[in-house]
């Protein structure tokens, strides 16, 4: 529901930059192998100074079509995959965000598409369960995935920088990203398995830059690379400028989240402060 906005939020105070990395790789159907591959990418990101590392959606287990295989591999948040992510985060002293396949109940025959954030102490910081399911372009994620409940945006803070999360298809819903920005996020973290197809990379890059511009936030988008993802992971500043990007090959991107730059952009373009409408979430009837 769209309502009249409350009073404008103040611009966040400037602070030290935080280095963020986006990991692009091709997870497969072996969660242990995916963890090991991700560990090496996190090592590379850490060596470049990254304190926050973003990995793709479905980093735990990736297929082109969701079916009973993904239900069979699902784990609770206390399972070995999330535990392994925590060990990687602790080993390299980073905050690590990645997509996992969360078990609903053994008999449910469904899973949740969940992002988890693990801190440098290996503990779970927060989580986000995908709200907008990929029932488009001939796919039906809702056949096996249970949509996340509509809750307050999941955010976490590193230094003076606040991060918020969305996943893949959520990118096509600007009101969801606006809720994250309105909750105080200065960086939108967006893991994805953006399925390749005609014009899909153009849509992906256009939408990522639009979300950065309209919300005056940084965007750190980590996609799967070929063959199951379109690649084109990128880090974007609040003006929509691309700071770093990849093609469809594996790799690691790094860039600084600079709150002084963010404050300057928001002084010049105070679109969040000038907005006349707020987004409120109604539960489905």
DSSP-assigned letters across all residues of 130-195:
--S----TT--GGGTBPPPP--SPPEEEETTEEEEE--GGGGG-HHHHHHHHHTT-SEEEEEE---
Which of the residues 57, 102, 141, 245 is marked catalytic? 57
Is 51 a catalytic site residue? no
Which of the residues 51, 130, 141, 225 is marked catalytic? 130
Distances (CA, A) of 167 to 98, 147, 249, 277: 10, 12, 20, 24
Q: Are 114 and 99 in contact (CB under 8 A)?
A: yes
Is 57 a catalytic site residue? yes
- Rounded CA separation 276/272 (Å): 9
Q: How close are the terminal C-alpha atoms of the chain, in Å? A: 13
- Rounded CA separation 197/187 (Å): 28
Which of the residues 75, 168, 177, 225 is marked catalytic? 168
Is 168 a catalytic site residue? yes
The catalytic residue positions are 57, 130, 168
């Amino acid at each position: 529901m769209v309502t009249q906005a409350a009073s404008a939020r103040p611009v966040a105070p400037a602070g030290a930059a935080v280095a963020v990395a986006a990991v692009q790789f091709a997870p497969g159907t072996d969660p242990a192998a995916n963890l090991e591959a991700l560990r090496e990418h996190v090592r590379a990101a850490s060596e470049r100074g990254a304190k926050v590392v973003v990995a793709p959606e479905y980093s735990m287990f990736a297929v082109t079509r969701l079916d009973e295989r993904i239900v069979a591999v699902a784990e609770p948040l206390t399972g070995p995959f999330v535990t392994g992510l925590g060990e990687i985060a602790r080993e390299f002293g980073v905050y690590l965000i990645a997509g996992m396949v969360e078990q609903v109940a053994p008999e449910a025959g469904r899973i949740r598409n969940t992002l988890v954030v693990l801190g440098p102490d290996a503990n779970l910081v927060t989580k986000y369960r995908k709200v907008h399911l990929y029932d488009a372009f001939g796919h039906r994620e809702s056949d096996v995935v249970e949509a996340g409940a509509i809750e307050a945006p999941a955010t976490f803070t590193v230094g003076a920088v606040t991060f918020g999360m969305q996943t893949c298809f959520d990118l096509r819903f600007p009101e969801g990203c606006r809720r994250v920005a309105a909750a105080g996020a200065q960086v939108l973290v967006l893991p994805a398995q953006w399925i390749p197809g005609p014009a899909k990379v153009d849509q992906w890059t256009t939408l990522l830059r639009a979300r950065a511009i309209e919300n005056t936030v940084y965007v750190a988008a980590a996609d799967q690379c070929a063959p199951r993802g379109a690649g084109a992971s990128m880090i974007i500043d609040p003006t929509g400028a691309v700071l770093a990007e990849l093609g469809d090959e594996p790799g690691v991107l790094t860039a600084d989240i600079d709150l002084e730059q963010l404050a300057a952009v928001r002084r010049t373009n105070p679109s969040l402060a000038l907005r006349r409408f707020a987004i409120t979430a109604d539960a489905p009837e």
